[in-house]
Chain A
């Protein structure tokens, strides 16, 4: 049957809406192979169809299968792209290695470009009124207080604050920090707000 491999691929993606999967090189190669096969069959039949008109329908059916495969592949890539966009907003501009491994080389290139674009856009914001840029990934929720109490979830290492103090973020240590300095770390799951 036509276009079955590609459905497996999409079902895989559909099952994991919340996280990104390993880029499935192997399956994409198989699908492209199927498409090449369909195309070659179509070439032979199209050449033969000048004598045998009935082959024409076969050509058209295969052609719609080709288009179907194309649609599915594009949908797969597009949906991954949307997720990669979210990665930039949630993990920040530097991806942890284990997430980085899930992307294909081209996807990683796209990620870097998107990241640069976003950064230069954020730098350009508010320049006409004397600010040099706004970090849009900050303050996604309205800040309630200037300082918050946080619990450290992992061994992170040293963190230098804006006033020059260096603190050691060790697992299970508690800190009382300026909200602006720790909200990115909270979003990355390194700190947790204690309420």
Chain B
């Protein structure tokens, strides 16, 4: 995956998503991982929600310290909905990083159904993505998209815009550099707030 760069901020945010895990061994002094625990130690068999990066390290120990459970959105019930009609689900609400997290999660699903669901979901939602990138009502159509889908839609819209601008006048006027312009805008916004 090109995204799994050590210094990639969005990859870090993905690996911060919580996943449900079951503890397979007593973990001394780790009671704070489970908000309902009263003791200092984390007991065998307790279920906790921990960030993905922590889950991965605990799972990679031999023998594994936890067993990783699938997050709700990748479970049977939701998979059925996704396979039936993926466009009905508001991914931004349910799983902002649906695809990226799915890529990490897929290896914990022995039957391999998560992987196929991911591909199917994208296939079905592609039309929606396309519609969002040419639509004028950007807020309405962008709303149900996941973070990466939003980025793609925005990039598509920007490309579309650049192409039509270029077709209309073969000439491209010189413009202010992007960061300079944004810096100004922000400063102005801050001034107005004061």
Write the residues of chain A forming the contact surface with B, with a CB cutoff of 8 angstroms.
1-3, 7, 10-11, 13-14, 18-20, 45, 52, 54-55, 57-58, 60-61, 64-65, 68, 71-72, 74-76, 78-79, 83, 86-87, 89-91, 98-99, 141, 144, 148, 179, 183, 186-189, 192-193, 195
**Chain B positions within 8 Å of A19 at CB level:** 179, 182-183, 186
Assess whether B54 is in contact with A7, with CB atoms less than 8 Å apart. no
Assess whether A1 is in contact with B30, with CB atoms less than 8 Å apart. no
- Indicate which residue in B13, B29, B51, B186 contacts A14 across the interface (CB closer than 8 Å): B13
- Indicate which residue in B13, B54, B57, B58 contacts A10 across the interface (CB closer than 8 Å): B13
**Chain B positions within 8 Å of A183 at CB level:** 174
The 8 closest A-B pairs by CB, nearest first: A90-B177, A64-B57, A189-B176, A18-B182, A78-B7, A75-B7, A187-B177, A186-B174
Assess whether A65 is in contact with B54, with CB atoms less than 8 Å apart. yes
Assess whether A79 is in contact with B54, with CB atoms less than 8 Å apart. no
Assess whether B176 is in contact with A187, with CB atoms less than 8 Å apart. yes
Assess whether B176 is in contact with A188, with CB atoms less than 8 Å apart. yes
Tell me how far the C-beta of B12 lies from the nearest C-beta in chain A, rounded to whole angstroms.
6
Tell me how far the C-beta of A20 lies from the nearest C-beta in chain B, rounded to whole angstroms.
8
Q: Does B32 contact A (CB under 8 A)?
A: yes
Q: Does B81 contact A (CB under 8 A)?
A: no
State A4–B30 Cα separation when bound (angstroms).
16
Assess whether B53 is in contact with A68, with CB atoms less than 8 Å apart. yes
Question: A11 with B57: in contact, given A90-B178, A186-B174 (CB under 8 Å)?
Answer: no
Assess whether A55 is in contact with B28, with CB atoms less than 8 Å apart. yes
**Chain B, 163-194, contact with A by CB distance < 8 Å: what is the 0/1 string?**
00000010111111111111110110000000
- Nearest-CB residue, chain B, relative to A2: B54
Assess whether A187 is in contact with B27, with CB atoms less than 8 Å apart. no
- Indicate which residue in A13, A52, A148 contacts B174 across the interface (CB closer than 8 Å): A148
**Chain A positions within 8 Å of B130 at CB level:** none
Tell me how far the C-beta of B172 lies from the nearest C-beta in chain A, rounded to whole angstroms.
5
Q: Report 7 cross-chain contacts, Cβ distance below 8 Å, ordered by A residue.
A: A10-B12, A10-B13, A13-B9, A14-B9, A61-B57, A68-B53, A187-B180
State A98–B182 Cα separation when bound (angstroms).
13
Tell me how far the C-beta of B64 lies from the nearest C-beta in chain A, rounded to whole angstroms.
11
- Nearest-CB residue, chain B, relative to A14: B9
**Chain A positions within 8 Å of B169 at CB level:** 195
Q: Does B111 contact A (CB under 8 A)?
A: no
Assess whether B186 is in contact with A54, with CB atoms less than 8 Å apart. no
**Chain A positions within 8 Å of B8 at CB level:** 75
- Indicate which residue in B16, B25, B54, B187 contacts A64 across the interface (CB closer than 8 Å): B54
Assess whether B58 is in contact with A61, with CB atoms less than 8 Å apart. yes
State A131–B51 Cα separation when bound (angstroms).
57
Q: A2-B54, A61-B30, A99-B183 are in contact. List 15 more A-B contacts (CB 8 A).
A: A3-B53, A58-B29, A60-B57, A61-B27, A68-B54, A74-B6, A75-B9, A79-B9, A86-B179, A91-B177, A141-B174, A187-B176, A189-B180, A192-B176, A193-B174
